[in-house]
């Protein structure tokens, strides 16, 4: 049976991605940034086990880099697909806090051992 923390983190991740997709099409206020920040912290704290740290950090860094550059490309290209740029920005707001938390947890576990 899965741990309750892992289930909360898994649901937080899924809800975060769904919200990132939905709010790519609809504008939202500053509250959305705070919501993604909180969801990202929950994902980083509850969903990533020690064995998953390295793959998550690699995937998280790739998502942050591609999301940042991709958002800039779609914004400057004026292709009429601003929702793609907004979706990538939403993912950044979700993954940056999660990646920071997991990286800090990794550093602390290396410092202990």
pLDDT for 1 beyond 60: no
Q: What is the DSSP letter of 52?
A: G
Closest CA to 63 of 37, 39, 99: 99
| Three-state SS at 10 | helix
For residue range 41-81, list pLDDT tens digits in order.
998 888 888 888 899 899 989 988 888 887 777 666 665 66
Segment 79-108 mean pLDDT: 86
Q: Do the beta carbons of residue 70 and residue 24 sit within 8 Å?
A: no
Four-CA torsion 71, 76, 80, 82, nearest 10 degrees: 30
pLDDT at residue 97, as a whole number: 93
Residue 36 has pLDDT above 90, yes or no: yes
- Mean pLDDT check: name the lowest of 11-25, 35-49, 73-87: 73-87
pLDDT bin (cut points 50, 70, 90) of residue 112 is confident
Distance CA 15, CA 35 (A): 11
- Residue 51 in tokens: 């064995």
**Helical spans, DSSP H, in the chain:** 4-25, 30-46, 53-77, 82-112
């Amino acid at each position: 049976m899965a741990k309750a923390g892992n289930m909360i983190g898994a649901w937080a991740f899924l809800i975060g991605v769904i919200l990132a997709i939905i709010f790519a099409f609809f504008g939202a206020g500053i509250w959305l940034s705070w919501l993604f920040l909180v969801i990202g912290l929950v994902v980083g704290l509850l969903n990533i086990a020690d064995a998953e740290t390295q793959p998550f950090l690699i995937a998280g860094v790739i998502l942050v880099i591609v999301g940042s550059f991709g958002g800039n490309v779609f914004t400057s290209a004026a292709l009429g697909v601003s929702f793609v740029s907004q979706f990538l920005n939403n993912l950044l707001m979700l993954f940056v806090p999660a990646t920071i938390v997991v990286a800090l947890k990794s550093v602390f576990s290396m410092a202990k051992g």
